[in-house]
Amino acid sequence: MKWWLWLVPTLMTAHNLEKALAAVRPDQLEPAPAPLGQLLLATGVVAALAFALTALLIKSPKGGLGIRVLLGLQGLMLIDAVVSIGVAVRALGYVPGLWTSVVSVPCSVLIFRRAFLDGYVTRRSFLITVGISLIAYLSLAWGLPRLGDVVGRCTGCG
């Protein structure tokens, strides 16, 4: 059984929940992007999708695309965790998502190690998956703020 793959949506949900709760703290320098209820709803929807996707893809055979997709998602989480920890070190303090990032790094190592030891990925497919995760992370980090700007400008359109 690939129990360790259930850590992917679990870590993602915990991380998103920590960020949502931290965003509405009164001591935040910037206002929350949305009210707490909306943030929790969005977190719940993403969690439901992540768990449903895992339930679907966990049935993939060794070397299958489904396992690589889940490992790619965890790769995104690992990159985000390392970035969050780096930002916290630079800021000399807490940043939203820090605690789950600290937990996510060793859990990611466990997930990737199990994938190798159980024969679900080869070195080549793992490196390709990590490369795609890195490209996806950089694309999201660059693209999402710009998308927010576009949506923000268009909300006043009518």
CA 67 – CA 44 distance, rounded (Å): 23
Q: Does residue 31 lie in a domain region?
A: yes
Of 19, 27, 44, the C-alpha closest to 95 is 19
Give how many domains the chain has, as a whole number.
1
Q: Does residue 84 lie in a domain region?
A: yes
End-to-end CA distance of the chain: 53
**pLDDT average, residue stretch 16-23:** 88
CA 70 – CA 33 distance, rounded (Å): 28
**pLDDT average, residue stretch 126-130:** 84
Q: Does residue 158 lie in a domain region?
A: no
CA 72 – CA 129 distance, rounded (Å): 6
Q: Does residue 157 lie in a domain region?
A: no
Q: Given this model, what pLDDT does residue 67 score?
A: 87
- Cβ neighbors of 68 (< 8 A, separation 6 or more) are 121, 125, 129
Q: Given this model, what pLDDT does residue 158 score?
A: 44
Backbone angles phi and psi of 96, in degrees to 5:
-55, 130
- Cβ neighbors of 44 (< 8 A, separation 6 or more) are none
Q: Does residue 134 lie in a domain region?
A: yes
Confidence of residue 38 (pLDDT cuts 50, 70, 90): confident
Domain that holds residue 55: 3-152
SS (H, E, C) 35-46: CHHHHHHHHHHH
- Count CB-CB contacts under 10 A for residue 23: 17
Q: Does residue 12 lie in a domain region?
A: yes
**Between 141 and 119, the higher pLDDT residue:** 119
Across the chain, what does the average pLDDT equal? 84
Q: Given this model, what pLDDT does residue 145 score?
A: 62
CA 44 – CA 59 distance, rounded (Å): 23
- Quick: pLDDT tens for 54-93: 999 998 888 788 888 899 889 889 988 999 999 999 989 8
Q: Does residue 88 lie in a domain region?
A: yes
Q: Does residue 61 lie in a domain region?
A: yes
